[in-house]
Amino acid sequence: MNDRNGTAPRDRAAPNELLRVLRRIEGAMTALAALAIFAMAAFICYGVIARNVLNISVSDETVIVGELMIAALVLPLARVAAERGFIVVELMTHRFAMRHRIALSALTVLVGLMAALPIAYAGLIAFQGAWSSGSFYFGVLNWPEWPGKLAFLAGYVLFTLRLLVLLVADLRDPPGTGAGAA
């Protein structure tokens, strides 16, 4: 394996490889989300032109944009977690000692898991339901429900996975010691 950090202990090589793959998937997911935002703008602009210039109606606009919204807003969650980019309110923690901060960082990730895991599980059930029933949105296209539900599931599974990685990293290399992950 082309591990650039050749001095890393052997037993850490495999997780590092996994981490790199995870990071690459997160990057790809975020890029897809970015693309979805561009796509919804382009599609809505087409709708404006169709209505005002061509005088034709665009069918299923709300459904398509809704699907793109799911991709845009759920796929990047793991990346946000990796960058610890979730919004916090600083009230008094800056007064806490370092060893408390380590515990707090682990607590953050645990609470995050309690938020993400049920949503991921609910997403799995919803995807299974949409897939097996063949449910669709009312419209001209009768657009199936499963692609959006799959994107939702994928985003939350990845998000949960990343939180687990952060938890392990927090426990192993506590943040603030200079060796924190991500």
Partner 1 sequence: MDPTIIGTFGLIAVLILLVLRVPIGFVLASVATICTFLYYAFRSGRGFDFSRGLSPTLSLIQSNAFEFLHSYSLSMVPMFIAAGHLAYHSRISTDIYSAMRVWLVRLPGGLAIASLFGCGGFSAITGSSMACASSMGRICIPEMRRWNYDPRLASSTVAMGGTLGALIPPSVLFIIYGLFTETSVSQLFLAGILPGLLTLAGFVVTVLVWVRLRPGIAPLSDETTTTRDKVRAAGLAWPALMLMVIVIGGIYGGYLTATEAAAISLMFALVFGLLSRRLDWQMIRSSFIDTATQSAALFFIAAGAKIFVSFISLTGVTHAFVDLVAAADLAPWQLLAVIALMYLVLGMFLDPLGTMLLTLPFVVPLIEGMGMDLIWFGVIVVKLLEIGLVTPPMGLNVFVIASVGGKDSDATTAFKGVARFLIVDLAVLVLLLAFPMISLVIPNSMN
Partner 2 sequence: ETVLIYSEGGPNRGTRAEALEDFAQNVAEMSNGDLAIDIHWGGALIKLTATLGGVRDGAADMGTVLTAYEPLRLMAYGIGDLPLASSDPWVGMRAMYELMTTNRQMIDALADENVVYISNYTSTGIQMNCAGDNRIESIDDIAGKKIRASGTFGKVLNDLGANTVNMGYNEVYQALDSGLIDCEAGYLYTLEGYKLYEVINHIALADWGQITGFGIVMNKDIYDGLTPEQQQVLKDAGDRLVDDFARAQIEQMDVIVDGLKTGDIGRQVDVVDFDGRQTLIDASMKYRDEWVEGVTAMGLDGEGLWSEYTDLIAKYEAERDTSGYPWNR
Distances (CA, A) of 124 to 72, 74, 154: 19, 14, 9
Site for partner 1 contains 182 (CB under 8 A): no
Residues 6+ positions from 43 with CB-CB distance below 8 Å: 58, 61, 64, 65, 68
Please identify which residue in 2, 7, 55, 62 interacts with partner 1, judged by CB under 8 A: 62
End-to-end CA distance of the chain: 21
Q: How far is the CB of 135 from partner 2 (least distance, A)?
A: 5
Q: How far is the CB of 104 from partner 2 (least distance, A)?
A: 34
Q: Total residues at the site for partner 2 (CB under 8 A)?
A: 15
Question: 93 or 133, CB closer to partner 2?
Answer: 133
Q: How far apart are CA 145 and CA 124, in angstroms?
A: 13
Please identify which residue in 41, 45, 103, 140 interacts with partner 2, judged by CB under 8 A: 140
Question: 111 or 140, CB closer to partner 2?
Answer: 140
Compute CA 156 distance to the chain's CA centroid, rounded to the nearest angstrom. Answer: 6
Site for partner 2 contains 128 (CB under 8 A): no
Binding mask 121-160 for partner 1 (x = CB under 8 A): xxx-xx---------------------xx--x--------
- DSSP for 151-181, please give it: HHHHHHHHHHHHHHHHHHHHHHS-TTTT---
Q: How far apart are CA 60 and CA 131, in angstroms?
A: 20
Q: How far apart are CA 22 and CA 161, in angstroms?
A: 9
Judged by the rule CB under 8 A, the positions of this chain that interact with partner 1 are 30-31, 33-38, 40-42, 44-45, 47-48, 52, 61-62, 65-70, 72-77, 79-80, 83, 85-93, 104, 107-108, 111-112, 114-116, 118-119, 121-123, 125-126, 148-149, 152
